[in-house]
Amino acid sequence: MSLKIRLARGGSKKRPIYRIVVADARAPRDGRFIEKVGTYNPMLAKDHADRVTLVTERLTHWLSVGAQPTDRVARFLDTAGLIKREARNNPEAAVPGKKAQERAAERAKKAEAAAAAPAAE
111 and 70 housed in the same domain: no
State pLDDT tens for residues 16-33: 999 999 999 999 888 899
At position 47, the amino acid (one-letter code) is: D
State pLDDT tens for residues 30-87: 889 999 999 999 999 999 999 999 999 999 999 999 999 999 999 999 999 999 988 8
74 and 24 housed in the same domain: yes
CA atoms of 20 and 35, how far apart (whole Å): 9
13 and 59 housed in the same domain: yes
CA atoms of 112 and 104, how far apart (whole Å): 12
61 and 105 housed in the same domain: no
Count of CB atoms situated within 10 Å of the CB of 6: 22
Domain that holds residue 59: 3-80
pTM for the model: 0.72
67 and 112 housed in the same domain: no
15 and 65 housed in the same domain: yes
66 and 109 housed in the same domain: no
61 and 98 housed in the same domain: no
109 and 61 housed in the same domain: no
Question: Is the residue at 86 inside a domain?
Answer: no
For residue 57, give every residue at least 6 positions away whose Cβ sits within 8 Å of its Cβ, in sequence order, or none. none
Q: Which of 23, 25, 72 lies closest to 51 in space, CA to CA?
A: 72
* The length of the chain, given as a count of residues: 121
Number of domains in the chain: 2
